[in-house]
C-alpha cells in the first residue's frame, strides 16, 4: 500500500493569491467538456461524444499527470508548485475533484442521456428484460462469436496473479466451487468485438457486450456457484520516461517504451458501484492501490462505447453537416506557388479546407521545378496524404528531409511506421533530440525559378494530419518572405544536423529565445500604454502556466494594459484581482471543434503585431520543446487575425466560460438575438474568400 497522502486542509482557491494550481485548472477544463455533454442545446449524439471525450481526457490525465505525481510522492519529493502545493496535497485534491466529476458523468448517462436516446427510439436493453426467445438468440451469438475469445482466470487466491491490461473492461466474478472456498475470477471483455450489439436487424435496440458475457458466465465457469459479477477497469501509468541517450539509441528506446507502457503501475481503479467489499478490497490489494485511488462508479464504465452509438445513421441527432470552404486557386498546383510568391496567405481550419496544405506538399512533390522539401512530423496519423506526397517526392529524385518526432505521446507507433517507410524511400529522416520534443509545425519547399532558387514555407499551429484538421481549429501561414524562409532553413539545419542555434531574423524559437521574446513584447506593450494609453494584448492558446510570463502579464495589467486571454485548457492566471490582475480577463471556448490555434496579438502603440505558431506558454513548451512562433508581417493578415478571429471569439456568448479569480469558470450564455457563437459564425465567414487576389 502507498504512503498515506497528506490531507488538504484548505480550499484550493486559497492556496495562492497569485497562481491557480495547474492540475486543478485542468480538471476545470475537463468539467467544461462534461458540461457540453450536459448542455441540452447540443445535439444528442454530440453530447454522447463529449461524454466519451471527457472520460478519455480523464484517463490520459491519470496515465500521465497523476502517475507523475505518484512517483514524486513515493520518491519523497515534496517540492512545492508555484501555487504552494506538495505532490501529496495535489493527489488528495485531484481524487476529491475527479471522483465527483466522474460520478457526475455516470449520472448524466444513466439519468439523462440514456432516457433521451430511448425517446428517439434508440434503446440500450438489459438482457434480463428481453423476451426469452431474444435471450436465446443472444446466447447463441455468445457461443459462436464471444465464447471463443473469452479466457476465464482466477485472480484470488492464485499462485500467479494474471496481468490486467490498461483501460481494459473486466468482470470480477465471485465463485464458490465444489470445495467450500470462495474464489475471485476475472473475465476480460473482448475488445475485438463491438461493445454495442444489435438485438434485431434495424430495431435500434441494443445490448452491451459486458451484459451478454455476464449472463453467460455459467458457460465460462461450469460447475461453480456464481455469487456476483461486477465490472471494473484499471488505469495504468503510461508516462514512460525516455532516459538521456545518444540519438542512435532513440529508436530502440521508443520501441521499448511502447512495450513498457502496457505494464505501467496501476494508478486508478474504477469499479462498479455495489461491488462486494471483499472483491473491492482484494482488487485494491492486488493492484497496490488505496481508497483514494478507487472510484466507485454508478452505471456505465468505459464510455468509449458512446462513440459507437453516436455513429448510428440518425443525422438529426448530430450537428448539421459542414463542408470547409475550398478556394480553388489555393488548391490548384499551377497557381499555388504564384499566389504565395505574390502575397502571404493565411488559412483557418477547419473553416477553411486543409486541402491547400496537402496541395502545398503534393505540388512540391510533382512540380519539376521543386528540388527540395523539408518537413516536421509530430502527429501525422495512421493515414497521411502528406507522408505519401513526401514518399512520392523522394521517388521522383527530389531532396527530401523529414524530422519525425518519435516521442509524440501515444503516436509513437504511427511515427515509427512512417519513419521507416520514408527511410526506405531514400528520405533523410532524423529524430531530433533524446531530451527534447520537436513540436513545431514547419514545411519548407525550395523551387528553381528563372535560374535562381526561391523558398516557400508553411508554418502552422496544428499537426499535418487531415483528420484532426477537420476537428481542431488551427491557423496556417504560407509565405515566401526571405527572412522567414531563411530562418526556417537554418532551424531545419539545427534539427537535423545539431548545428548551433542561430540568432533568428523573425522566428521566435524555444528553448532559445521564445519566452524572452514574448516577455519583451509584453514589456513593449507596457511602454506603449504609458506613452499612448492604448495598450492591448490578446493571446489565444491551449495552456498558460509559465510563472515568468504570468508575472509579466500582471505587470501589464497593473499599468492599465487590457489583457484578454483565450485559453482552452489550463490557465494558472488569477484574473480580476485588484492591484494585480484587474485588467486581465480569461475566457475559454468549448464547442463543436477543439480550439487548438495559438495566436498572439499586441497593440504596439497603433502598429499591431500578430504571431502564430505551435507554442503554448508552459515550462515544457518553453524549456523542453522546439517550438516556433512566426510574426505575421502582412498588415492585412494581422488585421484579419484580430477582426476575423480573436474579436470573434471574444464576442462568443454561447460556448464560453469566464474564469473567476478562484480558478473556477462561470458559463456565459445569452439567448435570442443576443446569442453569438464564434464557431458558427466562422463556418459562415471563413478566411479563404479573402485570400485570392482581387477578392
Catalytic residues: 439
Q: Distance between CA atoms of 181 and 161, rounded to whole angstroms?
A: 18
Q: Distance between CA atoms of 589 and 121, rounded to whole angstroms?
A: 32
Q: Distance between CA atoms of 545 and 25, rounded to whole angstroms?
A: 10
DSSP designation for 690: G
User: Alpha-carbon torsion 641, 643, 644, 645, what sign?
Assistant: positive
Q: Is 279 in contact with 230 (CB distance < 8 Å)?
A: yes
Compute CA distances 689 → 333, 348, 648, 676, 693, whole Å. Answer: 18, 11, 17, 22, 10
Q: Is 598 in contact with 542 (CB distance < 8 Å)?
A: yes
**Which one, of 516, 507, 462, lies nearest residue 630 by Cα?**
507
Q: Distance between CA atoms of 625 and 509, rounded to whole angstroms?
A: 9
Q: Output the nine-digit C-alpha cell for 639.
A: 488585421
Can the peptide bond before residue 157 be classed as cis, meaning omega within 30 degrees of 0?
yes
3-state helix, strand, coil in the chain (%, to 5): 40, 25, 35
Compute CA distances 206 → 52, 108, 196, 437, 483, whole Å. Answer: 18, 19, 6, 44, 60
Q: Output the nine-digit C-alpha cell for 196.
A: 454495442
Roughly what angle, to the nearest 10 degrees, separates helices 355-366 and 333-342?
Answer: 100
If you count DSSP H runs as helices and E runs as strands, how many of each does the chain have, helices first? 24, 27
Q: Is 594 in contact with 473 (CB distance < 8 Å)?
A: yes
Task: Write down the H helix ranges in 38-173.
Answer: 44-61, 67-74, 87-107, 114-119, 132-141
Q: Distance between CA atoms of 113 and 328, rounded to whole angstroms?
A: 42
Q: Is 425 in contact with 402 (CB distance < 8 Å)?
A: no
Coil, strand or helix at 478 = strand
Q: Output the nine-digit C-alpha cell for 224.
A: 461453480
Q: Distance between CA atoms of 164 and 266, rounded to whole angstroms?
A: 9
Contacts of 644 (CB under 8 A, 6+ apart): 348, 685, 687, 690
Compute CA distances 424 → 71, 371, 381, 495, whole Å. Answer: 40, 19, 19, 21
Q: Output the nine-digit C-alpha cell for 644.
A: 476575423
Q: Distance between CA atoms of 168 and 302, rounded to whole angstroms?
A: 8
Report, in angstroms and rounded to the nearest whole number, the Rg of the chain calculated over CA atoms: 27
**Which one, of 578, 592, 576, lies nearest residue 665 by Cα?**
576
Contacts of 477 (CB under 8 A, 6+ apart): 344, 345, 346, 458, 459, 460, 612, 630, 632, 637
Q: Distance between CA atoms of 306 and 574, rounded to whole angstroms?
A: 36
Q: Distance between CA atoms of 343 and 337, rounded to whole angstroms?
A: 10
**Which one, of 18, 15, 8, 10, lies nearest residue 571 by Cα?**
18
Amino acid at each position: 500500500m502507498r504512503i498515506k497522502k497528506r490531507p488538504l486542509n484548505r480550499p484550493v482557491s486559497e492556496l495562492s493569491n497569485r497562481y491557480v494550481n495547474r492540475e486543478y485548472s485542468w480538471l476545470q477544463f475537463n468539467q467544461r467538456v462534461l458540461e457540453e455533454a450536459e448542455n441540452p442545446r447540443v445535439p444528442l449524439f454530440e453530447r454522447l461524444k463529449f461524454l466519451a471525450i471527457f472520460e478519455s481526457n480523464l484517463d490520459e490525465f491519470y496515465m500521465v499527470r497523476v502517475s507523475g505525481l505518484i512517483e514524486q510522492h513515493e520518491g519523497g519529493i515534496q517540492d512545492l508548485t508555484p501555487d504552494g502545493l506538495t505532490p501529496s496535497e495535489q493527489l488528495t485534491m485531484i481524487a476529491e475533484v475527479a471522483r465527483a466529476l466522474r460520478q457526475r458523468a455516470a449520472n448524466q448517462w444513466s439519468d439523462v442521456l440514456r432516457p433521451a436516446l430511448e425517446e428517439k427510439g434508440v434503446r440500450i436493453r438489459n438482457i434480463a428484460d428481453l423476451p426469452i426467445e431474444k435471450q436465446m438468440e443472444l446466447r447463441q451469438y455468445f457461443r459462436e462469436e464471444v465464447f471463443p475469445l473469452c479466457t476465464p482466470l482466477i485472480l484470488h487466491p492464485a499462485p500467479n496473479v494474471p496481468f490486467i491490461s490498461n483501460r481494459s473492461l473486466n468482470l470480477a466474478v465471485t465463485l464458490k466451487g465444489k470445495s467450500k472456498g470462495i474464489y475471485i475470477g476475472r473475465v476480460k471483455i473482448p475488445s475485438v468485438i463491438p461493445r454495442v450489439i444489435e438485438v434485431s436487424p434495424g430495431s435500434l435496440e441494443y445490448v452491451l457486450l459486458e451484459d451478454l458475457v455476464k449472463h453467460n458466465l455459467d458457460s465460462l465457469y461450469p460447475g461453480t456457484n456464481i455469487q456476483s459479477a461486477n465490472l471494473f477497469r484499471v488505469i495504468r501509468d503510461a508516462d514512460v520516461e525516455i532516459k538521456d541517450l545518444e540519438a542512435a539509441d532513440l529508436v530502440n528506446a521508443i520501441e521499448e517504451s511502447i512495450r513498457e507502457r502496457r505494464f505501467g503501475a496501476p494508478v486508478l481503479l474504477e469499479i462498479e458501484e455495489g461491488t462486494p467489499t471483499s472483491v473491492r478490497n482484494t482488487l485494491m490489494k492486488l493492484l497496490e492501490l488505496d481508497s483514494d485511488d478507487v472510484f466507485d462508479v454508478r452505471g456505465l464504465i468505459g464510455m468509449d462505447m458512446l462513440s459507437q452509438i453516436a455513429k448510428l445513421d440518425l443525422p438529426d441527432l448530430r450537428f448539421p453537416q459542414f463542408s470547409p470552404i475550398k478556394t480553388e486557386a489555393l488548391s490548384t498546383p499551377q497557381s499555388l506557388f504564384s499566389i504565395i510568391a505574390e502575397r502571404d496567405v493565411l488559412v483557418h481550419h477547419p473553416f477553411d479546407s486543409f486541402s491547400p496544405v496537402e496541395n502545398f506538399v503534393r505540388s512540391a512533390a510533382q512540380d519539376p521545378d521543386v528540388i527540395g522539401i523539408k518537413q516536421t512530423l509530430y502527429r501525422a496519423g495512421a493515414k497521411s496524404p502528406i507522408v505519401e506526397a513526401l514518399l512520392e517526392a523522394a521517388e521522383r529524385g527530389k531532396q527530401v528531409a523529414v524530422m519525425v518526432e518519435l516521442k509524440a505521446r501515444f503516436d509513437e507507433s504511427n511515427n515509427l511506421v512512417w519513419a521507416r517507410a520514408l527511410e526506405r524511400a531514400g528520405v533523410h529522416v532524423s529524430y531530433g533530440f533524446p531530451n527534447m520534443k520537436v513540436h513545431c509545425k514547419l514545411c519548407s519547399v525550395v523551387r528553381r525559378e528563372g535560374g535562381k532558387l526561391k523558398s516557400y514555407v508553411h508554418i502552422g499551429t496544428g499537426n499535418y494530419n487531415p483528420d484532426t484538421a477537420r476537428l481542431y481549429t488551427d491557423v496556417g501561414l504560407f509565405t515566401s518572405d526571405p527572412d522567414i524562409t531563411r530562418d526556417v532553413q537554418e532551424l531545419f539545419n539545427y534539427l537535423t544536423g545539431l548545428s548551433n542555434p542561430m540568432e533568428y531574423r523573425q522566428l521566435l524559437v524555444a528553448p532559445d529565445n521564445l519566452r524572452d521574446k514574448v516577455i519583451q513584447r509584453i514589456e513593449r506593450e507596457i511602454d506603449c500604454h504609458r506613452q499612448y494609453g492604448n495598450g492591448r494584448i490578446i493571446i489565444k492558446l491551449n495552456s498558460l502556466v509559465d510563472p515568468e510570463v504570468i508575472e509579466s502579464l500582471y505587470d501589464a495589467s497593473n499599468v492599465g494594459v487590457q489583457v484578454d486571454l483565450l485559453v482552452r485548457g489550463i490557465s494558472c492566471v488569477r484574473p480580476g484581482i485588484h492591484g494585480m490582475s484587474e485588467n486581465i480577463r480569461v475566457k475559454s471556448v468549448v464547442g463543436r471543434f477543439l480550439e487548438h490555434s495559438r495566436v498572439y496579438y499586441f497593440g504596439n502603440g497603433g502598429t499591431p503585431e500578430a504571431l502564430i505558431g505551435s507554442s503554448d506558454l508552459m515550462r515544457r513548451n518553453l524549456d523542453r520543446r522546439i517550438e516556433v512562433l512566426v510574426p505575421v508581417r502582412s498588415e492585412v493578415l494581422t488585421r484579419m487575425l484580430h477582426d476575423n478571429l480573436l474579436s470573434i471569439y471574444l464576442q462568443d456568448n454561447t460556448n464560453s466560460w469566464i474564469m473567476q479569480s478562484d480558478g473556477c469558470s462561470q458559463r456565459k450564455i445569452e439567448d435570442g438575438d443576443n446569442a453569438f457563437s464564434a464557431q458558427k459564425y466562422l463556418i459562415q465567414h471563413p478566411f479563404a474568400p479573402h485570400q485570392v487576389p482581387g477578392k
